[in-house]
Structure 1
Amino acid sequence: MPDVLKRVPAERERWQSRALVWVVGTLLAVAAVAPVVVDFHGWRGLRVVALPFLLSAMFALLVWALRAATGAAAVMGFFVCFILAGRPVVSSAVSGRIVFHPAIAALVAVFVLTYVATRFGRARKAARGLAEARKGLRAASQIVANLGVAALAAAVGSYAGCIAALAETAADTVSSEIGQAVGGPAWLITSWRRVSPGTDGGVSLVGTVAGVLAALVIVGFGGLHHALWPEGLVVFVAACAGLVFDSLLGATVERRGWVGNDWVNFASTLFAAAVAGVLGRW
């Protein structure tokens, strides 16, 4: 199969991304709003929920103001942040205590890492035709694909799955961006033959090491306010497994033009969360 960076037909990728936004975006909206509506405690509940709401709104506005996402993507980011910030709040509304979800720190760390990695070596990536366009804001489908599983895992009470999904997202973006910026040899994960940097399913030593370190950082932030040991090792392994799974999908179904990058990213975070859940039970 010849080396190409994108084989998925544009129209197919468009409708796949739209379907992902409608399905997962709807689930995120319900997961964010339903607990507040069902378990509401009048003025005290409103007062307690107000701070997470403002925090989520500020996060969404910051992402939009930094030209890191479109308006629709910022809305999806609001839902993700509010699920993480507000879920424990609702259950504690009777006491009037404000308790933020411990994954908020990991979510902020993901944003910082991916923001920096995307801009790292932009000139070199642009010269190779690999850099994102300067006006290429993150679309709603990208936010849903990368953060949707983490938010939904938090919504159903799977903290390990949430952090594993966030760590896989950071690892995938950082490994890809750093690998493309630094350059060097890359190999197709299914056949181990040399391919050009940026090829779907291609892996490099520098990119892989950067991705693994990014996953480790996110797991560390995920354990700041929530005991993740010995679960932390399980979550880290799950995130790395998701990173490998992402490359496998890129080298197979994405290169063959069956699915677009958004679905690959979504499936990889789902795989990482599932592995964390299975290993955690063992």
Structure 2
Amino acid sequence: MVAALAALAPTLGDAAAVPFFAVAGAAFFGVRDGELFETLALPGDREEERLYGLVSFALAGAGLALFASLPRAFGRVPLPYEAFAAATLAVAAGRLGRTLLSRETSDEFTLVAGYVAAGTAAALAGQVAVRLQTGAPVDGATVPLLTFLAAAAALTAALVRSLVFSRDAHITSVLVAFATWGFLALEPTVGAPLIAVGLAVTGALGYVSFAIGTASVAGMLTGVVSALLAVVLGGVGWFLTLMSFYAIGGLASKYRFDEKAERGVAQENEGARGTGNVLANSAVALAAVVGYAAAPHLALPAAPLGFLFAGATATAMADTLSSEIGGLFDGPRLVTTLRRVEPGTDGAITWQGELAGLVGALLVGALAAVGAPLFDPVVSGGVAAGGAVVAAGVAGMTVDSLLGALIEGDRVGNQAVNFLATLAGGAVAVALWAVV
């Protein structure tokens, strides 16, 4: 009910923050015990006898309302009302959906799905309400975009929620509001078939990754958000290229897992990749996707961003296969000296792992460069462009091994090394683009 106030922001105008401040004041000073307090109290509120969770959420709403409404008096439009309503309602309705389902089941995927479904529906309704008040169109051309924004807001909210405490809904709503604003500013072209297929496929793949144990809940949500952005902001080719890494890389982590665990080279957390691991391998590619969507607005060439994306993804694929397959073989050698070392040593390589990495880079290069007639390729230039991506993937894989041997340890972790390697692979691909 508090979040629904955000949908009234266009009508309330400069006073849009007033109801949120009123709720915060009433919750802080007026509700200290009784049935209403017990209903609204979050973990920790009962010990302190204050509804700090609700108060914080209401104050976050007030701050976003001020940021969305007051600058309009000076002819500026910072935070769009649609982003404000979508974020606030996605967080609140998502929590409601999860809470209702928790009475029936404790299955984490079901609870997350309830959060996302309720959050998406409420965020979509909030955006429609805002547009009806402002006179903006709500038709077949705009509803797919609003649906994408709603789904992106709900997925981002679920992801942030998985990383913070349940009392931090205020942090979640602020982060989601600015993320949604960024998606809206990119003005993506979203058709009904694209958003329908994109949501269905990414949701199904997210479930599979969680069900077979290749991703934790947070890792699954990170992958779903990444895949959704890739298909909407980039296109089908971008989506398939990224998903090839998620799918094959995840399966490679589970391949002969017990044997790798005995050798001390298995992926931690039973092979389930978390948010940190997913982002370490995908952050550069995601930045490239967003940059690609923003390029027309900034009068920048889009082509190098495609090579950055493909090179980083090829590196992630090559490095993952090299580690997961190569770790099964004896006789690893340190990449810097080629001396034999124990399995699991940072910077150790095997020829079998290097071959597996090359195959992974070849797959990504083929997907990125060969699109027609089914979909637009990520990089243009045919075989030469694909070869550049493959070379970048192998180069990035080698950089990962070198960094592992030289700097990885107590101060520099594996995730930082993975990020730097994908950045190097992307940079090599861009450099080769200038030649191709």
Q: Same fold (TM over 0.5)?
A: yes
SS at match of 2:401: helix
Distance 1:281 1:138 in 2: 35
Q: Does 1:80 align with 2:250?
A: no
| Cα distance in 2 between the residues matched to 1:265 and 1:145 | 6
**Cα RMSD between the aligned structures?**
3.0
State how far apart, in whole Å, the 2-side matches of 1:164 and 1:27 are. 29
**Corresponding pairs, count:** 245
Kindly provide the amino acid, as one letter, of the partner of residue 109 in structure 1. S
Query: Match for 1:101: what amino acid?
Result: V
CA contact (8 A) 2:214 2:253 kept: no
**Deviations 1:24-75 (CA, angstroms, capped at 9, x unpaired):** xx9999777623455278xx86775444344333333332232221221122
Pairing 1:153–2:288 present: yes
1:70 counterpart = 2:224: no
Q: Which residue of the partner structure matches residue 430 of structure 2?
A: 277
Do 1:53 and 1:86's aligned partners in 2 also have CA atoms closer than 8 Å? Answer: no
Distance (Å, rounded) in 1 between the aligned partners of 2:310 and 2:175? 19
Contact 2:310/2:389 (8 A) holds in 1: yes
**Residue identity matched to 1:75:** L
Q: Bigger CA drift: 120-129 or 135-144?
A: 120-129
The amino acid across from 2:232 in the alignment is G
Q: Which has the larger radius of gyration?
A: 2
Deviation at 1:190, TM superposition (A): 1.5
Deviation at 1:233, TM superposition (A): 1.4
Partner AA of 2:306 in structure 1: Y
2:257/2:271 contact within 8 Å kept = no
Q: Quick check: 1:176 aligned with 2:311?
A: no
| 8 Å contact kept, 2:334–2:347 | yes
Q: How far apart in 1 are the matches of 2:339 and 2:391?
A: 26
Shift of 1:258: 2.3
Q: Provide TM-score, normalisation by structure 2.
A: 0.51
Confirm whether residue 211 of structure 1 aligns to residue 357 of structure 2: yes
Percentage identity across aligned positions?
Answer: 30
**Bigger RCO of structures 1 and 2 (CA < 8 A, at least 6 apart):** 1
What's the TM-score, normalizing by structure 1? 0.76
Deviation per residue, 1:145-190 (Å, 9 max, x gap): 0112112112212111111111111111111111111x12111112
Q: Aligned AA for 1:170? A: M
> Quick one: structure 1 residues 136 and 118, their matched pair in 2 at CA, closer, same or farther if it must change by over 3 Å?
closer
Q: Which residue of 2 aligns with 1:200?
A: 346
Aligned residue type for 1:197: P
**Corresponding residue to 1:120 among 229, 234, 255:** 255
Cα 1:61–1:124, aligned 2, differ >3 Å: closer, same or farther? closer
Structure 1 gaps of 5+ residues are 1-20, 89-99
Which range moves more in the overlay, 138-147 or 228-237?
228-237
Instruction: Tell me the residue number matched to 1:239.
Output: 393
Contact 1:28 1:79 in 2 (8 A): no
Aligned counterparts of 1:108 and 1:128: Cα–Cα separation in 2: 29
The residue that corresponds to 1:164 in the other structure is 311
What secondary structure sits across from 2:333 in the alignment? strand
Deviation at 1:232, TM superposition (A): 1.3
Worse overlay, 29-38 or 150-159: 29-38
Q: 1:66 to 1:33 in 2, by over 3 A?
A: farther
Instruction: After superposition, give the CA deviation of every residue in 1:78-97 in whole Å (9 maximum; x if it has no partner).
Output: 22111111115xxxxxxxxx
1:237-277, Cα deviation, whole Å (9 max, x unpaired): 1111100100011001104x321000100110011111111
Question: What is the alpha-carbon distance in structure 2 between the residues aligned to residue 245 and residue 134 of structure 1?
Answer: 25
Q: 2:201 aligns with which of 55, 73, 88?
A: 55
Partner residue of 2:369? Answer: 223
Richer in helix (by share): 2
